[in-house]
Amino acid sequence: MAEMRYSPKDEQALMTELWDPEIAEDPEKFVLFNYPWGQDGTPLHKRSGPRSWQREDLQEIADHIKSNKALIAKGEMPRPFRKSTVSGRGPGKSALVSWLTNWQMSCNIGSTCILAANTEEQLKSKTMAEVGKWFTLGINSHWFDKTVMSVTPATWYRKLLEDELKVDCGYYYAKAILWSEENPDAFAGAHNPLGMMLLFDEASGIPKAVWSVSEGFFTEPDLHRYWMVYSNGRRNNGQFYDTHEGLHPWPRRRQLDSRTVEDIDTSVLEAIIQDHGPDSDEARIEVYGQFPDTGENQFIEHSRISGAAEREVEQDEGAPLILGLDVARGGKAKSVARFRKGRDARSIGVVRWAKLSNIELAHKVAELIDYYQPDAVNVDAGQGSGVIDYLRDVMGYKVNEVWFGGKADKPERWGNKRIEMYADLRDWLPGAAIDNDPRLKRDLGGLRRYQPKNRDVWFLEPKQYDGELDDSDALALTFAVKVARRDTRTAKRRRPRVIHGVDYNVFGNNYR
């Protein structure tokens, strides 16, 4: 158990130094002051300080504190600090996590620091081992007691804070917390008005439920609220991926190529590139600090998706126009309509509706049909049976009923109609154009295939009914049936009409 190392006078001088705003509100200055950089007989005798990217991150926090204090001075609410870093191998992420933990505990007295990682083994043997090492190297290491999973104030130090400074030490700790995907609420932590820091190491493997619970750590409008996440980009889906490339990317994020970091043996990195190829996922993950193009069992590569989102539209007037409709399944889901004309799935914008009855949705779809005159209308039969029946039997429209779980046209390869439609969509993407919609790209990139035991055909993992895949399912439905080209047919088509005097070119992203 740690004891007071210096005389009371010297101990007071050290506290005064570390708690001075010059250091306490500048993590970079704290790191330079607290550790024995360049000193003989220490593990840091060959190092003069943090690496450049680490300094930049520490300085960014100092700037954030200044901005928050300015907001408070104007009577406004301080803002939390959130940053996500994806990197290659070995740039010093764990060291930075350790310095931030030490700074939070040393300078924001009474505050809380929570650490989480991908696995229990990662948390115990790597993350917390690194934290313990840097606490031991600190000039104030005797202020704290360390265990495998926590750092807490030493008894003498805690008593001083509570008796002399009246600091509430009830939540004053740095603690590693194991998460449970089955019981994410067990991860939920305390609210601490003296400061809260949440650090995720190897964050790519931490599930969505834990991220959602973590939002609750930052509801108190306190000055010191920090959430930093770090990882290699091992998965091209999930919450960590979303902080960089998803629907709601974090405003502060860093993509770190390990070859740009000083004091790293780049020969190891170059060997990875040489062995696996410059365009390999191994190079992307281990060296470039990027996300893989193709994840485990991923059905559609991200390069195909991003290429289609960036490609110019190729007009083909003779191609058939096909409408795909995915009907909402309740909850957050929306009914989605998407059009495709040859290799163009962008020019006619996506239409989404929320909380419509079958009859209301059927009328909305009928308006689209009347205006755009598609050559085929393909509707998901699983949830859309009522819409299909009303369009057919009451309104007289020709609609193709598509069962995602139905038999594929090539049953020797595909387990059902769903994966077969997506396979056609996948093969269509090179040379095609889709809208640069993060929901569509997320849905397409999130598809995973699997092969049941003792079967030679492929399936897609079940759809999650929480608002995901509505967009991609609507596009996939445009591949449900084969439709002849317009320029091979001689029958005259009925001209589109304006409905009730309204020009329905306003359909698209703004139509609800």
How far is residue 202's CA from residue 213's CA, in Å, rounded to a whole number?
18
In the chain, helix, strand, coil percent, each to 5? 40, 15, 45
The tens digit of pLDDT for each residue in 239-270 reads 999 999 877 889 999 999 999 999 999 999 99
Question: For residue range 2-36, what is the model confidence (pLDDT) as tens digits?
Answer: 666 778 899 999 999 999 999 999 999 999 999 99
- pLDDT score at 492: 46
On whether the CB atoms of residues 437 and 336 are closer than 8 A, the answer is no
Residue 39 has pLDDT above 90, yes or no: yes
User: How confident is residue 378, by pLDDT bands cut at 50, 70 and 90?
Assistant: very high
pLDDT at 453: 84
- How big is the chain, counted in residues? 512
Q: What does the alpha-carbon distance between residue 443 and residue 300 come to, in Å, rounded to a whole number? A: 10
Residue 401 has pLDDT above 90, yes or no: yes
pLDDT at 506: 47
**Tokens of residue 332, six digits:** 């957050």
Residue 509's pLDDT is: 43
**What is the reported pLDDT for 189?**
63
306: its two tokens: 């991003």
The label of the residue with tokens 């949705």 reads 361
What pLDDT score does 190 carry?
67
C-beta separation of 363 from 356 below 8 A: no
Whether the pLDDT of residue 499 is over 90: the answer is no
Rounded mean pLDDT of 157-183?
90
In 3D, which of 289, 355, 342, 281 has the Cα closest to residue 316?
342
Instruction: Give the model's pLDDT for residue 168.
Output: 93
Residue type, 414: W
What share of the chain has pLDDT > 90, as a percent?
73
Q: How far apart are CA 444 and CA 437, in angstroms?
A: 11
pLDDT value at residue 151: 97
Q: Residue 210 has which token pair? A: 């834990």
Domain ranges of the chain: 8-288, 305-506
Mean pLDDT of 146-167: 95
C-alpha 413: how far from chain center = 33
Q: CA dist 386 to 62, 356, 389, Å?
A: 58, 12, 5
Q: Is a pLDDT exceeding 80 seen at residue 380?
A: yes
* pLDDT level of residue 184 (50, 70, 90 thresholds): confident
Rounded-to-integer distance, Cα 72 and Cα 78, Å: 6
Average pLDDT, whole number, for the chain? Answer: 90
Q: What is the mean pLDDT of residues 144-170?
A: 95
Same fold yes or no, 8-288 and 305-506: no
b/e burial code for range 201-231 (CB count within 10 A of at least 16 → b): bbbbbbeebbbebbeebbeeebbbbbbbbbb
Domain 8-288 in CATH 3.40.50.300: yes
> What pLDDT, in 10s, does the model give residues 221-238?
889 999 999 999 988 888
Whole-angstrom Cα distance, residue 30 to residue 310?
45
Using pLDDT thresholds of 50, 70 and 90, give the confidence band for residue 294: confident
pLDDT in tens, 304-335: 999 999 999 989 999 999 999 999 876 677 89
Q: Reply yes or no on whether the pLDDT at 504 is more than 60.
A: no
Which pLDDT tens digit goes with each residue over 59-76? 999 999 999 999 999 999
CATH number of 305-506: 3.30.420.240
Summarised one tens digit per residue, pLDDT across range 88-120 is 999 999 999 999 999 999 999 999 999 999 888
Coil/strand/helix, residue 342: coil
- CA-based torsion, 358, 364, 370, 372: positive or negative: negative
